[in-house]
A and B are shown apart, each in its own frame.
Chain A
Amino acid sequence: MHAIEAIAISKKFGDLLALSDVNFFVAEGETFGFLGPNGAGKTTTIRILTGITMPTAGTAMIFEKDIVKETIAARRQMGIVHETSNVYDDLSAWHNLMFAAELYNVPRSVRERRGKELLELFGLWERKDDRVRVFSKGMKRRLTLAMGLVNDPRLLFLDEPTSGLDVQSNLIIRDVIHDLTEQGVTVFLTTHNIEEANLICDRVAIINRGQIAAIDSPERLKKTIQSVQSVEVAFDPPSLDRLNRLRALPLVSEVRKEGDKFRLITEDPATVIEGVTAYAQEHQVRIISMTTIGPSLEDVFIKLTGLVPRVKGVKVID
């Protein structure tokens, strides 16, 4: 049984076509990432899948229940973590959590036990009686996640779960998702964080301007652009002036400066390594490190969404 089946979903806001014929499925137990730039339609997709917004055309099945026609039955199985940390500022963390549980009819004894577990898990137990108004952004985000889990959902929607979180909170959340997956919970998450999608998703859909550009596992997506490999090199002394010289090396299609390193995109890493070595000898600079890397999910993303990397003077991968 599929946890989610999106069937020819389109959504119009006035004249704007926010989603156009979106089709995909998510298998039960899968962690599915929805990756796309701002305004691509990620949140709109989640709002349709959770029955908050009506699709203009098409529908979605949640565990074989039609979200448009059997909305309540479909929703009973889901937990939702909305894009904004939508907590009640004037309620305590505890009352927020209990309210979320009551909306899902979680019995008192269960919700109190579960509530304690979750607040401890997200490091908020000591602050449970504080009004959420005084919470930091990250604390509110963690509380929002706890609220999404309080009904023990079989399918969890996460709309940019880690945006605005520090490394530690990020790790907690990644751990939580990992544990959920082990328990067989299906996770649907949206993100613009490519590394996050790469790390935790079984499959990823790349969406751009309301259309699905590709759906596959991160590794297989990378394979589709095997022609895009790169050599990453760091010099001593580091200097920006090298950009044009490196660009002139044979078979280098593009050079990006990434931190203190240069990334040379090529179809033929071996030749580029020779070229870089010769360049270093000629100019009497030392090579501190040199690595060849395969295509990253970011490369796939850039290629499929046609985005121009925002580094001056760098051309787009065609």
Chain B
Amino acid sequence: MTDFSEGCGQLCRELKAAWAIAKKDIRIYYLKPNIIVSGMLFPLFMFLAFAIGRDAPPTLLVPGLIAITILFSASSIEPVSIPIERRTKTFDRLLSAPISLHSVVLGESLSGFLYSAGIALVPLTAGMIIFQTPLVQPAALIAGILLTAFCFATMGTLFAAYPTESPGDIMSMLNLVRLPLIFVSGVFIPVNALPPIGQVIVMLSPLTFGNDLIRAAFEGSTHFNPLVDLVAIGGFILLFQLAANHLYRKFNE
């Protein structure tokens, strides 16, 4: 028996294990065709269906496409991988490892996060080339992409807590939330153009704040204060992480 705890405290062990969990998903899922379809093509079609013919300016369209792509791609891995892991019982490995559930949730979300942050470069590059939209605030873009991706990856992990062995169950619940989110987040219609009740509803969607930050990168100004955007997305991430941790524990009893 060897004690492998030297030279690495519990926090460091937790983070390493979370990274190992993420790496495993990266190896397994990044090249799966259905993940690429749901992560890239689906948001593109959604976007084309709603944006074309609206005559919206590119500074609205490009951030919108990026935001929707992140929403769908970030939450496309865990809702598939976790039910499959339940079915094959590999999930028991994660549940019986010497790490906290928080690290399991974090590790699972990391793969969706990285996937999504990478995929977001596609609409970003395409948008900038096709529409010639100049980038005025790169910092807002980076923060917007990373935070939004992390937020929706954690949301995907949260939904995957529902104790089913079938990815379809989780995907349909998730779409019940993801599709309406597109319309209440100022993606196609700017927040300030919404009726007052709409302006209140948008506050419930993390996509509103992510989209706001990404738009700031192109338009130079935001509807909310960028700090508000950051704090709001951070708050959603924390909320999803805590809720996921709670549900995984609850459903495992």
Contacts and interface: CB of A to CB of B under 8 A. Distances in A.
A90 interface: yes
A105 B4 contact: yes
Given A77-B1, A103-B93, A152-B1, A88 B99 contact: no
A183 B81 CA distance: 38
Q: How large is the interface on A (under 10, 10 to 19, 20 to 34, 35 or more residues)?
A: 35 or more
B89 interface: yes
Interface in B94-123: 94-100
A100 interface: yes
A151 B4 contact: yes
B56 interface: no
Interface of A is mostly: loop
Contacts, number: 85
Chain B interface size, under 10 / 10 to 19 / 20 to 34 / 35 or more? 20 to 34
Nearest to B19: A102
Given A76-B98, A95-B27, A105 B13 contact: yes
A59 to B, nearest CB: 14
B8 interface: yes
B10 interface: yes
B88 A86 contact: yes
A72 B5 CA distance: 12
B28 interface: yes
B2 A75 contact: no
Nearest to A72: B98
Interface of B: 1-5, 8, 10, 13, 16-17, 20-21, 23-24, 27-28, 88-90, 92-100, 252-253
6 contacts: A82-B89, A90-B28, A95-B27, A99-B24, A106-B4, A184-B1
Given A76-B3, A83-B89, A102-B20, 7 more contacts: A52-B95, A72-B99, A88-B28, A88-B90, A105-B16, A110-B4, A184-B1
